[in-house]
Chain A
Amino acid sequence: MILTTEQVRKIAALARIKLTDDEVEKFRKELSVVLDYVSELEKVNTDGVEEISQVTGLENVLREDIARLSEFRDAIIASFPERKDDFLKIKSIL
């Protein structure tokens, strides 16, 4: 499994990570090694096998949907990278 530079650029864009040209080439090689490594899995016959995502067998753990005040409001606001008063500041979107 050999990835192309275009594929790596697309993956990086989806993952929201900026890469230099050198990094694109580095990760192209390294990701190809990993994908090559996992390709052996094709050999396992999984016909009729259902996938598993919760290994201890729990399903739909529910709780009541009750609104409550966060005790952390001020501390969370204090950790914003940039703020104006109590508002989180970001770059303009439009």
Chain B
Amino acid sequence: MELAYLEISELAEKLRKKEISSVELTKYFLERVKKYGTENELNAFLTITEKEALLQAEEADRILSKDPNASVLTGIPYAAKDLFSTKGIRTTASSKILDQFVPVFDSTVISKLNSEKSVLLGKTNLDEFAHGSSTETSAYGPSKNPWDTTRIPGGSSGGSAAAVAAGLVPFALATETGGSIRLPASLCGVCGWKPTYGRVSRYGVIAMTSSNDSPGTIARSVKDLAYTAEILSGHDAKDSTTSVKDIPNYAANLRSDLKGVKIGVPKEYFVSGMQPEVETKIHEAIEKLKELGAEIIEVSLPLTKYGSLVYAIVTPAEISSNLARFDGIRYGHRSKDAKELLDIYAKSREEGFGDEAKRRIMTGTYALSAGYYDAYYLKAQKVRRLLVNEFNDVFEKVDALVCASVPNVAQKIGTAKDNPLFGYIADQLNIPASMAGLPALSIPCGFAKTEDDTSVEMPVGLQIIGPQWGEQNIFNIGHAYQTITDWHKKYPKGFGE
């Protein structure tokens, strides 16, 4: 029986019908993780939690045997980006400064999945502290794209995206700050959900940019994302920015047509430098949405090009503040060479942080320093308000926006690493929605030839952006698209199929 590329809902059905147990499912996916997910293979996993997983699966089987109303996620294996604190399980943020760090509590989303008896198989690789768009800034080396292992999977949630793409887990937890779910989902040909800011709790997620950080999921279909969204969303007293708004039954509400739905196509998202073949795929996808009954309206968002500039100031600024806590004092790496207190800070941080983290901390320190605050941070937060207003205006006219997630398909590993602007440019189409706290999806919509080798085709992602709290809008559009296309059912060769 082949299970690797089944959706959560299909696996849940098998569990309910007793065709398979959660323990069997867990062992099956653990084997795949150990065979394809490790350092010398996709390098998608930093830690494998076999013992804990098998215990949890036994627990799930007990619940499934007596509760016919158990959640669709009960007994389903998953992986979590190594940015989510997991009690008693090493959590590194892919940084040497947290190499041996073992959290004393679970992040809220991990607790929620624990309550459902979902089965954590391990922790996935990411750009160090989620600073990057390729996983190349990870202290443990880059993850590889399952469609072509010489290419980047995207980042920062590259390990999570690669793991789902290669069928090592049915879904994975990931986080977004400015494209870190949508970009790797796009480059790896899987589905990613970036929630409205405050829809999902940040508690226990190692902080990057607190005004943006949004934990979400990567999975094989929009329907699966909708299931995870129902479980992960909600108010959390431990994160005061979470909302008390009701959580719709996203999955049950899904529709298979788009009659009466107005979809905006923002012309500024067809940027110069975009691969023509990517642009073609996006237009083909828009035609499909039209077939489904949607009304397509061209719209204009003139401030789009400033989104990544705002991000390039706000993000390092908040990083410099959030990463001040990693000082070698209370936990994490402490330099052995320190002779006095100031040395503990400066040497522990020198030894513990990689180049990208140092670059962002210093950029942010500068942008917030005396005399520069008004010119950088304050200016950026003013432009950010204009970006929010511009989106609000356009959502008076349309229910959602569609465009590309990333202007180019996956490039070779090693070509992004030394460009200090790589992430800001790769994520230029993802960042504006992030700065405005909007929910968005990236879903597969075809393949395009790479720029360096026309014999290689890599996945293209369609981005769907909704108004704040408009998750249902984007899930409906994505799901309807997936009822008449099968791009989301494609999977890479070479992983046991």
Q: How large is the interface on A (under 10, 10 to 19, 20 to 34, 35 or more residues)?
A: 35 or more
Among B218-226, B256-264, B378-386, B398-406, the stretch that binds chain A is: B378-386
Task: Report yes or no: B385 in contact with A51, Cβ–Cβ below 8 A.
Answer: yes
Task: Report yes or no: A58 in contact with B344, Cβ–Cβ below 8 A.
Answer: no
Q: A11-B362, A15-B362, A49-B382 are in contact. List 10 more A-B contacts (CB 8 A).
A: A12-B362, A14-B365, A31-B363, A35-B363, A55-B437, A58-B243, A72-B104, A80-B330, A90-B344, A91-B338
Chain B: interface residue total (CB-CB under 8 A): 69
The interface residues of chain B lying within 8 Å CB-to-CB of A93 are: 341
Task: Report yes or no: A55 in contact with B361, Cβ–Cβ below 8 A.
Answer: no
CA distance A12 to B312 in the complex (A): 19
B284 to chain A minimum Cβ distance, whole angstroms, is 33
Task: Report yes or no: B386 in contact with A54, Cβ–Cβ below 8 A.
Answer: no
Query: Which residues A32-80 have CB closer than 8 A to chain B?
Result: 33-35, 37-38, 40-42, 44, 46, 49-56, 58, 61, 63, 72, 75-76, 79-80
CA distance A70 to B378 in the complex (A): 37
The interface residues of chain A lying within 8 Å CB-to-CB of B320 are: 15
- Asked whether B237 is an interface residue with its Cβ less than 8 Å from the other chain, the reply is yes
Going nearest first, the 9 A-B pairs with the smallest beta carbon separation are: A51-B381, A55-B437, A81-B334, A75-B104, A61-B240, A46-B382, A52-B385, A18-B346, A18-B350
Taking a contact as CB atoms closer than 8 A, the residue among A41, A53, A80 that contacts B379 in the complex is A41
Query: Which residues B351-379 have CB closer than 8 A to chain A?
Result: 353, 355, 358-359, 361-363, 365-366, 369, 376, 378-379
Interface string of A1-26 (1 = CB under 8 A from B): 00100011001101111110001001
CA distance A11 to B372 in the complex (A): 12
- Closest chain A residue to B352 by CB distance? A17
- Contacts A44-B303, A55-B211, A88-B330; A17 near B358 (Cβ below 8 A): yes
A selection of 23 A-B contacts at a CB cut-off of 8 Å is A3-B366, A15-B365, A16-B349, A17-B362, A18-B347, A27-B362, A34-B420, A34-B421, A37-B309, A37-B312, A38-B313, A41-B306, A41-B309, A44-B306, A49-B383, A52-B385, A55-B197, A55-B468, A63-B237, A76-B104, A79-B330, A81-B330, A91-B340
Task: Report yes or no: A53 in contact with B361, Cβ–Cβ below 8 A.
Answer: no
Query: Which residues B414-452 have CB closer than 8 A to chain A?
Result: 420-421, 424, 435-437
Query: Which residues B292-348 have CB closer than 8 A to chain A?
Result: 303, 306, 309-310, 312-313, 316, 320, 324, 327-334, 338-347
- Closest chain A residue to B434 by CB distance? A55
CA distance A62 to B268 in the complex (A): 40
- Contacts A51-B385, A88-B330; A38 near B359 (Cβ below 8 A): no
Greatest chain B CB density within 10 A among A7, A26, A44 is at A44
CA distance A54 to B332 in the complex (A): 30
The interface residues of chain A lying within 8 Å CB-to-CB of B309 are: 37-38, 40-41
- Closest chain A residue to B438 by CB distance? A55
- Contacts A14-B369, A17-B353; A38 near B376 (Cβ below 8 A): yes
Q: Which residues of A contact B (CB under 8 A)?
A: 3, 7-8, 11-12, 14-19, 23, 26-27, 30-31, 33-35, 37-38, 40-42, 44, 46, 49-56, 58, 61, 63, 72, 75-76, 79-82, 88, 90-93
Task: Report yes or no: A79 in contact with B331, Cβ–Cβ below 8 A.
Answer: yes
- Asked whether B231 is an interface residue with its Cβ less than 8 Å from the other chain, the reply is no
- Asked whether B388 is an interface residue with its Cβ less than 8 Å from the other chain, the reply is yes
The interface residues of chain A lying within 8 Å CB-to-CB of B384 are: 51-52, 55
Taking a contact as CB atoms closer than 8 A, the residue among B104, B366, B369, B424 that contacts A31 in the complex is B366
The interface residues of chain B lying within 8 Å CB-to-CB of A40 are: 306, 309
Taking a contact as CB atoms closer than 8 A, the residue among A11, A41, A90 that contacts B341 in the complex is A90
Task: Report yes or no: A81 in contact with B386, Cβ–Cβ below 8 A.
Answer: no
B409 to chain A minimum Cβ distance, whole angstroms, is 24
The interface residues of chain B lying within 8 Å CB-to-CB of A79 are: 101-102, 104, 330-331
- Closest chain B residue to A57 by CB distance? B468
- Contacts A18-B350, A46-B382; A88 near B329 (Cβ below 8 A): yes
Task: Report yes or no: B312 in contact with A34, Cβ–Cβ below 8 A.
Answer: yes
Task: Report yes or no: B310 in contact with A41, Cβ–Cβ below 8 A.
Answer: yes
Interface string of B178-216 (1 = CB under 8 A from A): 000000000000000000111000000000000100000
Task: Report yes or no: A46 in contact with B386, Cβ–Cβ below 8 A.
Answer: yes
Task: Report yes or no: B358 in contact with A27, Cβ–Cβ below 8 A.
Answer: yes
- Contacts A44-B303, A46-B379; A92 near B341 (Cβ below 8 A): yes
Taking a contact as CB atoms closer than 8 A, the residue among B334, B346, B383 that contacts A16 in the complex is B346
A59 to chain B minimum Cβ distance, whole angstroms, is 11
CA distance A31 to B355 in the complex (A): 12
The interface residues of chain B lying within 8 Å CB-to-CB of A37 are: 309, 312, 421, 424
Task: Report yes or no: B383 in contact with A46, Cβ–Cβ below 8 A.
Answer: yes
B365 to chain A minimum Cβ distance, whole angstroms, is 4
A23 to chain B minimum Cβ distance, whole angstroms, is 8
Query: Which residues B218-248 have CB closer than 8 A to chain A?
Result: 237, 240-241, 243
